[in-house]
Amino acid sequence: MKDWIRNALSIRQPRRPAPVGSLPPVGVLILRGPVKMLVTHPLPAELWDWLVLSGWRNMPVKDDRRKGMQLPEGALKALIDADPAERNQVHARILELAEPEV
């Protein structure tokens, strides 16, 4: 009922971004909206800070059933290897490679 009232009166509140978590370990997924990326290599703290500023967050739940977009396996490695000055361009190219999850 509350949901219907919020919709009818257009008083929905946008969700706040998830809080910044600690440095993710290898083997977990990180999120940026509907896009998911697997952490395949140890993440430098400097790169994690940059990813957080770009909107990436730790997965809030262990088993996330939401369907979204998945980045290819080498996406994180490309960001790690990228020069910090060119990281924004590499990030944009990687996001274009996202494919729907199966």
Q: What is the pLDDT of residue 67?
A: 86
Is 8 contained in some domain?
no
Radius of gyration (Cα) for the chain, nearest Å?
Answer: 16
Tally the domains of the chain. 1
d(CA 25, CA 6): 39
Is 84 contained in some domain?
yes
Is 56 contained in some domain?
yes
| Phi, psi (degrees; rounded to nearest 5) at 68 | -150, -145
Is 79 contained in some domain?
yes
Is 4 contained in some domain?
no
**3-state DSSP assignment of residue 93:** helix
Is 3 contained in some domain?
no
d(CA 80, CA 34): 22
Is 88 contained in some domain?
yes
Q: Which is nearest to 17 in space by CA: 5, 7, 31, 4?
A: 31
- Predicted TM-score (pTM) of this structure: 0.78
- Give the model confidence (pLDDT) of 4-22 as tens digits: 887 788 777 777 767 788 8
Which of 25-34, 61-70, 72-81 has the weakest average pLDDT?
61-70
Is 82 contained in some domain?
yes
d(CA 55, CA 42): 19
Structural domain range at position 87: 21-100
